[in-house]
Amino acid sequence: MKMTIYGSGCAKCKQLTANAEEAANELGLSYEVEKVTDVNAIIDAGIMRTPALALNNDIIVEGKVASPADIKKHLS
């Protein structure tokens, strides 16, 4: 599974990354994390608010830091 984090690399982006990794680890999933910080690439992906999280190119979180429990719902 591919998890893509969109954002500037701020504290909220880092927390969203940690929460996504925690959720995947709790479910025993293998994954790769890609971090997109380029503003033009974020806009091209259709993201209007960061941080954002996409799973296999499907945006599931935008403009907030989702908890590991919320992310697990999308993973299972």
| Domain residue ranges of the chain, discontinuous segments joined by + | 2-64
The set of catalytic residues is 10, 13
Token readout for 68 is 């590991």
Mean pLDDT of the chain, nearest integer: 96
**What per-residue confidence (pLDDT) applies to 42?**
96
Is beta strand 32-36 parallel, antiparallel or unpaired with respect to 58-62? unpaired
**What per-residue confidence (pLDDT) applies to 16?**
97
Q: What is the pTM of this model?
A: 0.93
For range 1-8, the mean pLDDT: 96
Backbone angles phi, psi at 45, to 5 degrees: -80, -5
**What per-residue confidence (pLDDT) applies to 23?**
97
The CATH number that domain 2-64 falls under is 3.40.30.10
Task: Give pLDDT tens digits for 42-71.
Answer: 999 999 999 999 999 999 999 999 999 999
pLDDT at 76 over 90: no
